[in-house]
Amino acid sequence: MADKDLRQNENIRETVRKGYADIAQGKSNCCCGSSSPDKLAESIGYSNEELNILPEGANMGLSCGNPTVIADLKAGQVVLDLGSGGGFDVFIAARKVGSNGKAIGVDMTPKMLSKARAGIETFTKKTGLSNVEFRLGEIEHSPVADSSVDVVISNCVINLSPNKQQVWNEIVRVLKPGGKACISDMALKKPLPEKLLASAAALVSCVAGAVLVGESIEMAQKAGLYSIQVDEKVYSIDVLADCNDPLYKQTKESLPKGKKLSDYIISVNITAFKNNA
């Protein structure tokens, strides 16, 4: 990769890292999700029982799907969440896999990692489980051993990566033979306007980095996954219409007159498997 591309990729990571650090510190309260986190979570299938076991602050409204449901997690499994943020899906997955399983979260933003780790004690008190771990790292280079994970999940994060193919390659690397990937993400219905692509706010708000559904399928296939299934329109991005956060305000202002975010972007669930060989 050329030096120019490397610099550009690192600039993107730094923009995302700063944006999510602000969210972790409460300077921004609406990113890939909603200004009403519980309302959004319930609308995409998270139960009240699941939400009640979460440490305070773990649900920041950053979801665009429910990968823990589509993963159909089993007791004893090892689960990896790419871009785990405040630990929302990690804590929910940890309860599903139980004491003989493990839930690992990887995130590149130290402030998010600190927020997630601070919730472990509360989670243990509520559930009696000590099966959660959070690691600092980039999802393009996960600090996880080869063939060590039963299920990889990710919720509205891969769109933020400047090297999505490498993320899919990493998913295959860490999965055990026969393992499953369950990815919730934003995807494009059609190319975004140039003005929106140039907006840093649009990137951090999970819009500018999204790609067409077919591109994600091609990357998953190239990485070596098979039986790829896509469920489109998990929820409408127009659920964010009431979001007054500066990120989304700037993003919406970058749209052509009369256009909505849902004219360009949808939420999808992608499931795929690694070969048993």
pLDDT at 182 over 80: yes
pLDDT > 90: what percent of the chain? 48
pLDDT at 29 over 60: no
Which pTM does this prediction carry?
0.85
pLDDT at 25 over 70: no
Task: Note the pLDDT tens digit of each residue in 129-143.
Answer: 999 999 999 999 999
Q: Which residue has the higher pLDDT, 123 or 62?
A: 123
Q: Which residue has the higher pLDDT, 175 or 55?
A: 175
At 265, is the pLDDT very low, low, confident or very high (cuts 50, 70, 90)? confident
Task: Note the pLDDT tens digit of each residue in 196-227.
Answer: 666 655 555 556 678 889 999 999 999 999 99
- The CATH number given to whatever domain includes residue 9 is 3.40.50.150
Task: Note the pLDDT tens digit of each residue in 74-126.
Answer: 999 999 999 998 999 999 999 999 999 999 999 998 998 999 999 999 999 99
pLDDT of residue 242: 53
DSSP assignment of the chain: --HHHHHHHHHHHHHHHHHHHHHHTTS---SSS-SSHHHHHHHTT--HHHHHTSPTT---S--SS-HHHHTT--TT-EEEEET-TTSHHHHHHHHHH-TTSEEEEEES-HHHHHHHHHTHHHHHHHH----EEEEE--TTS-SS-TT-EEEEEEES-GGG-S-HHHHHHHHHHHEEEEEEEEEEEEEESSPPPHHHHT-HHHHHTTSTT-EEHHHHHHHHHHHTEEEEEEEE-SS-GGGGGG---HHHHHHHHTSPTT--GGGTEEEEEEEEEE---
Mean pLDDT of 253-270: 82
pLDDT of residue 33: 45
Q: Write out the residue range of the structural domain in which residue 151 sits.
A: 3-274
Number of domains the chain contains: 1
At 46, is the pLDDT very low, low, confident or very high (cuts 50, 70, 90)? confident
pLDDT of residue 217: 96
